[in-house]
Amino acid sequence: MTELRIDSLSKDFGTFRALDSVSLDIPNGKFVCLLGPSGCGKTTLLRLIAGLETPTDGRIYVGGADQTEVPTHKRGMGMVFQSLALFPHLDVADNIAYPLAIRGVDKATRRARAEELLELVQLPGLGSRRIHQLSGGQRQRVAIARGLSIDPQVFLLDEPLSALDASLREHMQIELRQIQQRLGVTTVVVTHDQKEALTMADLVIVMKDGVIQQAGAPMELYHTPANAFVAGFIGTTNLMPCTVADGVVSVLGHAFPITEGDRIAISSGEAQLSVRPEHVLLGAPDEGLPAEISFLRDLGESLHVLMRVGDQEITAHLPPGHGHDLATGQTVGIRFRDGEKVVVQ
Amino acid sequence: MSATSVQTATPRWLGLWPAAMLTLFFLVPFGIMLAVSVAHRDVSGFYEWSFEWDSYARFLSAFFGKVMAVSISVSLTAAAICVALAFPFTVFLSNMGHRAQTRILVVLLSALALSEVIIGFSLSTLLSQTAGIGNLFHWLGLIDEPRAYTPSLFALITGLCYIGFPFAVLVLYPPVSRLDPEIVEAARVMGASGPRAFFGVIVPNLRGAIVGAFILVFVFTLGSYLLPQLLGRSEHWTLSVHITDQAVYQSNLPFGAAMSVFLMLVALALVGLASLAGRERGAA
């Protein structure tokens, strides 16, 4: 059992507080994504778990054992670095088996284990290659295999796919998730890419300014964001200032009745309304909030309608076959699909 | 594309200038030296042009063998000590803040501005019986009588290392500071203790730079002429000192020239061997 528990962990760099009393419970075998903009403390948290940084305050438990004071090299972690940090002076198999060599495993066993892992990451037979002979995607796979070679307590990855191009990145996300599910290893990935987090994670932890904003399953975060930051960071959304009172949400001077399924965090007062573009409906100007179409973006799979209400921009995504009669400059009436209004602080 | 444009931007004849300078100031003197090395010695004065191997034949003597062995081992020792000190120092330096790094590098560079004469006399004073650390040790009660530590092999090696150390650091600094710090962190996470990560990851990844620094200090100290006379005993005299001795004081120019040729060949051979070893290991 290698569940990971973080107990009010803080880290200061000089006067800068990178991590502010973060607590987390990660169950055994879960795939966790630490998600947030740069400087939010996600990498610091990962490095603290790995033991590469010393916490200012708080404790780290791995499998129930307090690891806070244990030096890095005795923690039994696997890690993939942002630069990959493969050893150019060793061949692929020796790179993968390096953690085993450190632990005094004999050469034949090391070679066998390296080959086994190369098959896992779909690079069979490449053990004797040099690192500089590999492509970016292959290096990525070698780094993953190396991180897994000792059956780590926790598998840590720091922006592992950021160097790959978009299509290869998507492919590796799926593959990484499949490998993790097959091995059942507790995994923590740092990423700033929300799609990456949604693709891979059991549990997404959204961070900002060293504080956890929300932790939950991807769709939980998508449908019930805890605040405006999470709503804006996970997926695309329209965020509009609003007022809640007497069963209606007033946006830009137009009152929308609260319907069943709407997630309204407050009973009355000022807040933010978040509506996903796919839940913005268009009709005649007198049927809703009047808005002027400023741009039409037809992507084939969907039609993006960019609209303006004063200074507020609102985007609607229409399914294929809809909105062919729309034109730039036209005024339409905006409505929101019932049960898809989310009011957050 | 860019290669051709570079060629057209820099006319080829420009290369003639360094070629001419090399010929004038290196190849011609070297040719004269070669010619003198096979000339016949005139005991009463100078030398007569001729072609004989007499000077080279003297290499076979035991005396010459010993001088060669002393020269090479003194330089090898100095180079080894310099690299052994400079490498960890440079790794440590590259982990410091940028301001501190610049300051330390400037101090090191200013040490290079000191001439060999100043370094030699300073050390001989520092290590002397009357004004040196021998007095200090006596005052501290570490030794019974004030004593001199110069001239000695220890003093000579100290002096050579003083000169060689900044060079070693300057050769090592660029590759060391470019080494990906995550490589070391990766080794640590994967179970390597500090020393193990140092010798198993940092050292092999910088093998080329280490060999380069070693060669530089070795060649540099091999030609050292002043320090062996200031700080060493006559049995520690290096080949350079003997060359001067033969050419200037014994009036045996052919033998001096022959020794110079030999010194150059030995230096070239060792440099070749070392770089070959560095390359082989680096690629294996």
**pLDDT for the residue numbered A34:** 95
Whether residue B81 lies inside any domain: the answer is yes
pLDDT digits over A295-341, tens only?
A: 999 998 899 999 999 899 999 999 988 888 899 999 999 999 999 99
Q: Which residues of B touch A99 (CB under 8 A)?
A: 190-191
Q: What is the mean pLDDT of chain A?
A: 92
pLDDT digits (tens, 9 = 90+) for B180-198: 889 999 999 999 988 899 8
Is the residue at B30 inside a domain?
Answer: no
Q: Answer whether A81 sits within 8 Å of B186, measured CB to CB.
A: yes
Whether residue B147 lies inside any domain: the answer is yes
Chain A 11-50, residues with CB within 8 Å of chain B CB atoms: 50
Domain A4-223 fold: Rossmann fold (3.40.50)
The answer to whether residues A232 and A262 touch, using CB atoms and an 8 Å cutoff, is no
B242 in any annotated domain: yes
Label residue A281 by pLDDT band (50, 70, 90): very high
Q: Do A102 and B190 touch (CB under 8 A)?
A: yes
Average per-residue pLDDT for chain B: 84
d(CA B208, CA A233): 47
* A89 vs B contacts (CB less than 8 Å): 201, 204-205, 207, 282
* Nearest of A233, A264, A235 to residue A251 by alpha carbon: A264
Contact B133/A at CB under 8 A: no
Of the candidates A73, A75, A83, the beta carbon closest to that of B180 is on A83
Structural domains in chain B (count) = 1
Q: What is the mean pLDDT of residues B9-16?
A: 80
Say yes or no to pLDDT of B220 above 50. Answer: yes
Report helix, strand or coil for A38: coil
Q: Which residue of B has its CA nearest to A149?
A: B190
Test B189 with A75 for CB contact under 8 angstroms. Answer: yes
Condensed to tens digits (0 to 9), the pLDDT of residues A3-13 reads 899 999 999 99
* Interchain contact, A103 vs B207, CB within 8 Å: no
pLDDT reading at A256 higher than 80:
yes
Q: pLDDT tens, A44-72?
A: 999 999 999 999 999 999 988 999 999 99
Residue B282 reports pLDDT greater than 50: no
- Which chain A residues are within 8 Å of B205, Cβ to Cβ? 87-89
Mean pLDDT value of segment B252-258: 86
Q: What is the pLDDT of residues B126-159, one digit of tens each?
A: 888 777 787 788 788 777 777 777 788 888 999 9
Query: Residue A16: what pLDDT?
Result: 92
Which of B189, B193, B280 is the mutation pick for testing A, counting most A CBs within 10 A? B189
In this prediction, residues A158-168 reach a mean pLDDT of 88
For B102-113, the pLDDT digits (tens) are 999 999 888 888
* Cβ of residue B145 closer than 8 Å to a chain A Cβ: no
Strand segments, DSSP code E, in B37-192 are 40-41, 47-48
Q: Is B201 on the interface with A (CB under 8 A)?
A: yes
Tokens at A282, concatenated: 């268009």
Q: Give contacts of A75 with chain B, Cβ < 8 Å.
A: 189
Q: Give contacts of A 133-192 with B, CB under 8 A.
A: 146, 150, 156
Q: Is the pLDDT of residue A118 over 50?
A: yes
Decide if B189 and A89 are in contact by the 8 Å CB cutoff: no
- CB-CB contact of A19 with A41 (8 Å): yes
Question: Mind listing the pLDDT tens digit for each residue in A139-155?
Answer: 999 999 999 999 898 99
Please work out, in degrees rounded to the nearest 5, the angle formed at the alpha carbon of residue A205 by the alpha carbons of A203 and A211.
160
Number of A to B CB contacts under 8 A, please give it: 59
Residue in A with minimal Cα distance to B205:
A89
- Mutation pick from A62, A67, A73 vs chain B, by most beta carbons of B within 10 Å, is A73
Could A102 and B205 be called an inter-chain contact, meaning their C-beta atoms sit closer than 8 Å? no
| pLDDT attached to residue B281 | 47
- B282: closest CA of chain A, how far (Å): 7
Structural domain contains residue B24: no
User: Which residues on B lie below 8 Å from A88 (Cβ)?
Assistant: 205
Nearest by CB to B186, which of A74, A85, A103? Answer: A85
pLDDT at residue B246 tops 90: no
B29 belongs to a structural domain: no
Q: Which of residues 205-264 of A touch B (CB under 8 A)?
A: none
The two structure tokens encoding residue A328: 């730039």
C-alpha triplet A280, A300, A303: angle, nearest 5°: 20
- The pLDDT of A27-35, averaged and rounded, is 94
| Domains in chain A: boundaries | 4-223, 237-344
What's the rounded Cα separation, in Å, for the pair A94 and A235?
41
Domain membership of residue B170 (yes or no) is yes
Of B180, B191, B192, the CB nearest to A85: B180
Does the beta-carbon distance from B192 to A50 stay under 8 Å? no
Secondary structure of residue A210 in the 3-state scheme? coil
pLDDT beyond 70 at A136: yes
Q: What is the rounded distance in angstroms from the CA atom of residue B191 to the CA atom of residue A72?
A: 7
Interface membership of A82 toward B (CB under 8 Å): yes
Average pLDDT over residues A34-50: 93
Full 3-state SS string of B132-152:
CHHHHHHHCCCCCCCCCCCCC
**Tokens 């009355």 sit on residue:** A268
Question: Cβ(A203)–Cβ(A34) under 8 Å?
Answer: no
Q: Give the residue from chain A lying closest to B283, CA to CA.
A: A89
Q: Determine contact, residues A300/A294, Cβ cutoff 8 Å.
A: no
Chain B residues within 8 A of A85 when measuring between CB atoms: 180, 182-183, 185-186
Q: Is a pLDDT exceeding 80 seen at residue B11?
A: no
| CATH number, span A237-344 | 2.40.50.140
Which residues on chain B are in Cβ contact (under 8 Å) with A76? 191
pLDDT band at B284 (very low <50, low <70, confident <90, very high): very low
Chain A residues near residue B196 by CB distance under 8 angstroms:
102
Model pLDDT, residue B125:
86
CA A254, CA A275: separation in Å to the nearest integer? Answer: 15
Domain range spanning residue B88?
Answer: 57-283
Confidence of residue A222 (pLDDT cuts 50, 70, 90): very high
A237-344 has the same fold as A4-223? no
Q: Any CB–CB contact under 8 A between B209 and chain A?
A: no
Q: Mean of the pLDDT values across residues A17-33?
A: 93
Helices A166-183, A136-148: axis angle to 10 degrees equals 20
Q: Least CB-CB distance to B182: which of A73, A81, A103?
A: A81
In a domain, residue B37? The reply is no
| CATH value at residue B200 | 1.10.3720.10
Q: Taking CB atoms and an 8 Å limit, are A87 and B201 in contact across chains? A: yes
Judge whether B180 is closer than 8 Å to chain A, CB to CB: yes
Under the banding of pLDDT at 50, 70 and 90, the label for residue A26 is very high
B275 Cβ contact partners less than 8 Å away, ≥ 6 residues apart: B211, B215
Q: What are phi and psi of B53, to 5 degrees?
A: -95, 10
Question: In this predicted structure, what is the pLDDT of residue B113?
Answer: 84
Residue A65 token pair: 């054992």
Q: How far is A212 from chain B (nearest CA, A)?
A: 25
pLDDT score at B3? 46
pLDDT surpasses 60 at B7: no
